[in-house]
A = this chain, B = another copy of it.
Amino acid sequence: MKLKNDTLIRALLRQPTPYTPIWLMRQAGRYLPEYNQTRTRAGSFLALCKNPDLATEVTLQPLARYPLDAAIVFSDILTIPDAMGLGLYFADGEGPKFERPLRAEWEIRDLTAPDPTTHLRYVLDTVSQVRRALAGSVPLIGFSGSPFTLACYMVEGQASSDFAAVKSMLYQRPDLLHHILAVNTNAVIAYLNAQIEAGAQAVMIFDTWGGMLSHAAFREFSLAYTARVIAGLKHEHEGVRVPSIVFTKGGGGWLERIAAIGCDAVGLDWMVDIGEARTRIGARVALQGNLDPAVLLSTPEVIRRECGVILERYGRNNGHVFNLGHGISQHTPPENVATLIETVRGLSGDYH
């Protein structure tokens, strides 16, 4: 079935579009009252992720409210290590944690890439269901954490302010970290390709923690493996191109290198000027971003002004997907999201 609205796909492939497409990282999330209701019904965040009916429901919620140009499958970046047996859980009011983080060398040597068609079946089922429900209205984005970002959680057991455990391993036992990263790379490739076969029409790799590495370590331990993922992806499914997006939070210093690994688009946080980014990178890839999520905590006037600046800085060029520079805040008033989307739709035509 041909997409009715293929603006996102065209923009990711740097083709002409009538306006700048927009979707939001974490667009199905806690700022939406209907999301919170479904989550309560599910019992927990993780139960929601693992229930394809409910995950499909929340995936579609923001699209019922807003004229977004894409859906993104509702899931978590840590499904892979959970499927590896590390025991993902969410303590109340805290981020994700693992019951069994990687500690001993034998645990690391025993690690294997999970078969997505069994251990991650629930994600693939959600992808299929969402794809059917969308009925070609807008494309569906699949996603995964990057091999390095997964490794951070697998070694630390949770997010950290200094990532001392994973960095100690990086500097003292790089062989062990490389082993984890190689397994993760195979897992991410299999997982994203399975999502593509299940119906994902674009894929995004979230490298949430690559930005805390030194410039040299980033290349060796994060970017090299993301590049292997990109090389292993199906770039076409049923004769249709499946674009890939790579987002390294805090990676503004390395945009040229990220853009060179073969992905179709690079995500930008808000610390980067999107106009400067485009000049640095050239037209090799599309750019996605880069509004500070905190702008959505303000007023319609400020939202309009800040959107206008980003559109103007990107200018009359193909290949821009409007988005935030990070996930939407749970404190965002839903009406501000409406203002954002109206503004981008209203202003961006002038640049196309």
Question: Chain A interface (Cβ within 8 Å of chain B)?
Answer: 162-164, 167-168, 170-172, 211-218, 250, 252-253, 270-273, 276, 292-295, 297-299, 302, 306, 309, 325, 329, 331
Contact = CB atoms under 8 A, between A and B. Distances in A.
Given A217-B292, A253-B253, 18 more contacts: A164-B297, A164-B329, A168-B294, A170-B294, A171-B295, A171-B297, A171-B299, A171-B302, A172-B302, A212-B271, A214-B270, A214-B325, A215-B272, A216-B309, A250-B250, A252-B252, A252-B253, A253-B271
Nearest to A302: B171
Given A162-B329, A253-B252, A271-B253, A298 B168 contact: yes
Contact of A172 (B168, B211, B253, B298): B298
A250 B253 CA distance: 10
Contacts of A167: 292, 294, 297
A331 B164 contact: yes
Contact of A214 (B163, B170, B218, B292): B292
A295 B252 CA distance: 23
**Taking chain A's interface residues, is the majority helix, strand, or loop, or is none over half, making it mixed?**
helix
A160 to B, nearest CB: 11
Which of A171, A213, A217 neighbours the largest number of chain B CB atoms within 10 Å of its CB? A171
Given A164-B329, A172-B302, A329-B164, A271 B250 contact: yes
A53 to B, nearest CB: 32
Nearest to A305: B171
A167 B306 CA distance: 14
B271 A213 contact: yes
12 contacts: A162-B294, A164-B297, A167-B292, A171-B299, A172-B299, A172-B302, A214-B271, A214-B325, A215-B271, A215-B272, A215-B276, A216-B309
